[in-house]
Amino acid sequence: MAGGGRAWSDSTPLLDPSTQRDRFSVEMATAVPLEVPRRSVFLGVDVGTGSARAGLFDEDGKLLGSASSPIQIWKEGDCVEQSSTDIWHSICAAVKSACSLASVAGEEVTGLGFAATCSLVAVDSEGSPVSVSWSGDSRRNVIVWMDHRAVKQAERINSYNSTVLQYCGGALSPEMQPPKLLWVKENLQESWSMVFRWMDLSDWLSYRATGDDTRSLCTTVCKWTYLGHAHMQQISEKASRDMEACGWDDDFWEEIGLGDLVDGHHAKIGRSVAFPGHALGSGLTPTAAKELGLVAGTPVGTSLIDAHAGGVGVMESVPVSDPEYKDMDQEAICCRMVLVCGTSTCHMAISRSKLFIPGVWGPFWSAMVPEYWLTEGGQSATGALLDHIIENHVASPHLANRAASQGISLFQLLNKILESMMHDKGSPFLAALTDDIHVLPDFHGNRSPIADPKAKGIVCGLTLDTSEKQLALLYLATVQGIAYGTRHIVEHCNAHEHKIDTLLACGGLAKNPIFIQEHADIIGYPIILPRESESVLLGAAILGAVAAKKYSSLNEAMKALNAAGQVVHPSKDPKVKKYHDAKYRIFRELYEQQLSQRSIMAQALA
């Protein structure tokens, strides 16, 4: 098999990791005069909203192969739920398919890392699922990140003005875990009494794989109000990188009505917290290894949230041969913002000092890159919004059929229609096609920088036209609205002491050239795309490489395995800038008008 392969037949029983290595060496020595080094392959697993994906990378960070498997999801109003059992089965299918496609044997996988959405998992003392659903269906034990059932609980928690809130942009989002936990306690008392562990999904995956329920600084700091800098202080005092959790604020949990989660040294929410990439337990358990088609004992690194894995997979992807980037010092990383563009978009920037930015999550200590403070902006619906806009248009089915007949995606066809319209109308540039249609993209609330979960989307400039061309214009205006939202976030961060001047983009939407070019033109900064488009998978694989001790730190692994691809520069045409400045002004006014209208209606109903 390529790269060394096995030295024994498939029927040879697997031994424990240390014995297996010894036997491998003996049999290789018997078979050939010289020892053939086994290649190192790093496996990353990413669980998104709709699928589980697995990717295998070599020691240069190049993708050898990837595969995906769909995940079941239940949506009922504000409630969005999944099954951890279904998710695990999908992961196993994806890993086996990826290994097969890449011709990688299980024993060639040197390390494994997990990334996932920041969904909430409930399991009992046996590790079995506990329902978090009104239906009582025990399969539905995952509250998905986008679930907004806990808006009232979030408002109540925020009213207490706890000191932990200053590390979340001043207020908790209903997408974070404390409001969701409070909702379950208040509405599903039987389930609440049955749950033995509450876990972020990526932490549950590493627990399911290793039996070690150590939580990640990434998940606990970003979604659970864990104070990572308190963890830092204990690390410096005791010189350890895997400490008993010491960043929980017990007064906060008592105040919001969840004091029972403090019991047993926080056993239900995390007694031990570690840096991303920390080697967990004894690696893969025999059971998990068999299910995944891998080898027991394979190192597994402490997990990351999927967006943060994207940051790790792309943050150091700068073109070193380019004079513009060649002389960057070590602090240049603090001038970059990563856009992880998928169902939602996350905006990740790091700094050496803690920066408190109203309406933007953080500062989170070591939540992505160890020993840096993370600032995290976000838009709750981007890819999901584009899908919604397109799928709910009357021209969508016919357009989808046309795209399928041409063997291209619906987005590629829409981009072609826009290019044709630009030429037919003699438009000076493509963006000018939307001069009389404007979109406020807050269809699922505003995560940042306004932090208003009650915000609504607005489309201004509709007509009776139901043609494919009208859908193309609506699509373009929505892309622009998303980009104006990102500009708002970047400007807000820079107004609060960040010095962002370069963007790096990854995720599904980053593969769309119009999406990226509009962002570059609207924000006015170059956007670097990574060499490997599967940056979230690479970020997860980097965790496995660090756990396997192939690199001394996450920072070193990022520099070794990240690589730049195309650089997209903003237009130099001053007319383009003038146009987008005008539309951005309208974008900002749309929200102000919404606030005014909300006030008028509140007074009318008072």
Q: How many Å apart are CA 246 and CA 318, to the nearest integer?
A: 36
Q: Of 123-132, 319-328, 405-414, 486-495, which gets the smallest average pLDDT?
A: 319-328
Average pLDDT over residues 439-465: 96
Q: Using 50, 70 and 90 to split pLDDT, how confident is the model at 232? A: low
**Average pLDDT score, the chain:** 91
Average pLDDT over residues 388-393: 98
Q: How many Å apart are CA 37 and CA 544, to the nearest integer?
A: 19
Strands 272-274 and 215-216: parallel
- 366: phi > 0 → left, psi -120 to 50 → alpha, else beta; which? left
Q: What's the pLDDT score for residue 17? A: 35
Spatial CB neighbours of 217, under 8 Å, sequence gap ≥ 6: 226, 228, 231, 273, 274, 275, 276, 302, 365, 366, 367
Q: Are 30 and 526 in contact (CB under 8 A)?
A: no
Order of strands across the sheet that contains 242-244: 215-216, 272-274, 242-244
Does residue 338 have a pLDDT over 50?
Answer: yes
Q: Of 33-42, 168-177, 208-217, which gets the smallest average pLDDT?
A: 33-42
Spatial CB neighbours of 580, under 8 Å, sequence gap ≥ 6: 431, 480, 484, 521, 522
Spatial CB neighbours of 85, under 8 Å, sequence gap ≥ 6: 129, 139
Residue-wise pLDDT tens digits, 55-65? 999 999 999 99
Two tokens at 513? Answer: 């050239």
Residue-wise pLDDT tens digits, 64-120? 999 999 999 999 999 999 999 999 999 999 999 999 999 999 999 999 999 999 999
Q: How many Å apart are CA 104 and CA 293, to the nearest integer?
A: 11
Q: Are 302 and 274 in contact (CB under 8 A)?
A: yes
The 10 Å Cβ neighbour count of residue 317 is 24
Does residue 325 have a pLDDT over 70?
Answer: no
Q: What's the pLDDT score for residue 281? A: 97
Percent of the chain residues past pLDDT 70, beyond the cut: 90
Residue-wise pLDDT tens digits, 465-506? 999 999 999 999 999 999 999 999 999 999 999 999 999 999
The one-character DSSP state at 36 is P
Task: Kindly report whether the global pTM for this prediction surpasses the value 0.85.
Answer: yes
Element (H, E) at 98: helix 84-102
Q: How many Å apart are CA 79 and CA 77, to the nearest integer?
A: 5
Can you point out the beta strands (E) in 441-532? Answer: 458-460, 502-506, 527-530
3-state secondary structure of 446: strand
Q: What's the pLDDT score for residue 33? A: 44
Instruction: Look up tokens 């915000």; give the residue.
Output: 455
Does residue 36 have a pLDDT over 80?
Answer: no
Domains in the chain and their CATH numbers? 1-35 (no CATH), 39-303 (3.30.420.40)
Q: How many Å apart are CA 220 and CA 226, to the nearest integer?
A: 5
Can you point out the beta strands (E) in 183-335? Answer: 197-200, 215-216, 242-244, 272-274, 300-305
Does residue 261 have a pLDDT over 70?
Answer: yes
